[in-house]
Amino acid sequence: MEVERLVKKINGFSLTLTVLLVVILLFPFWGKILYPIKYSDKLYDAASFAGVDPLLVAAVVKAESNFNPRAISKKGAMGLMQIMPETAFWLAKEINEPLAKPEELLDPEKNLVLGTFYLKYLIDRYGNLELALGAYNAGVANMDTWLKKNKAENPNLYPFNETKAFVKKVLWNYKVYRFLY
């Protein structure tokens, strides 16, 4: 009787181990389908040029547009990285990148260059990834106000639920991308 129980435990353990091994081996395959890096050459080039981890850029793009280069938000943010035209024109002057009209933000390469430099600017400005992501979503003016009121140290304290959710989503995406790639 004890031998049968031991055999069942061993068989159960073997089955569990086999299932676990299969899931581990297949998850990267399925994970890469769920978390692709589209426009990877352009994304990696822009990230390298700006000095930002390309997997972080992919995490932002996944959260912002799910890699839809033609995405336009209700507030007017455009393209892969959902850049507001006013921000794009300011940034284009700062980095000497030609930008004549807002529709150019629908070009993946242009959007990735500007969005990645903007992300780098925010990371350097705030010295903290969570604060930079909060500012990316809510804007620099809002982040500066929250910091003055001492409400921005923790993303859970952001007054905007959208910003809380965005920061959490990007950080989750970033973890997944680092695991998969």
Residue position matching structure tokens 């952001």: 158
The sign one gets for the Cα dihedral 169, 175, 176, 181 is positive
Two structure tokens written together for 168: 């959490």
Angle at which helix 161-180 crosses helix 129-138, to 10 degrees, equals 130
Q: Side chain identity at 140, as an amino acid letter?
A: V
| Domain carrying residue 7 | 1-34
- The CA-atom distances, in angstroms, between 170 and each of 42, 58, 62, 76, 155 are 20, 9, 8, 20, 12
- Same domain assignment for residues 77 and 139: yes
Which domain CATH number covers 141? Answer: 1.10.530.10
Q: Per the structure, how many domains does the chain have?
A: 2
Phi-psi region of 160 (alpha: psi -120 to 50; beta: other; left: phi over 0): beta
Whether residue 103 is found in the same domain as residue 164: yes
Residues 97 and 118 in one domain: yes
64 is catalytic: yes
> How far is CA 111 from each of CA 78, 107, 125, 138, rounded to the nearest angstrom?
8, 6, 21, 18
Residue 142 sits in the same domain as residue 103: yes
Per run of 10 residues, the mean pLDDT along the chain (length 181 residues) is 57 64 68 92 98 98 98 96 97 94 97 98 96 96 86 67 94 94 93
Neighbours of 134 (CB within 10 A): 28
**Whether residue 29 is found in the same domain as residue 45:** no
Q: What's the pLDDT score for residue 6? A: 46
CB 98 within 8 A of CB 110: no
Q: Are residues 47 and 29 in the same domain?
A: no
CB 165 within 8 A of CB 137: no
The pTM score is 0.83
Which one is catalytic: 2, 64, 86, 94? Answer: 64
| Residues 47 and 57: beta-carbon distance below 8 Å | yes
Looking at the structure, tell me whether residues 120 and 159 fall in a common domain.
yes
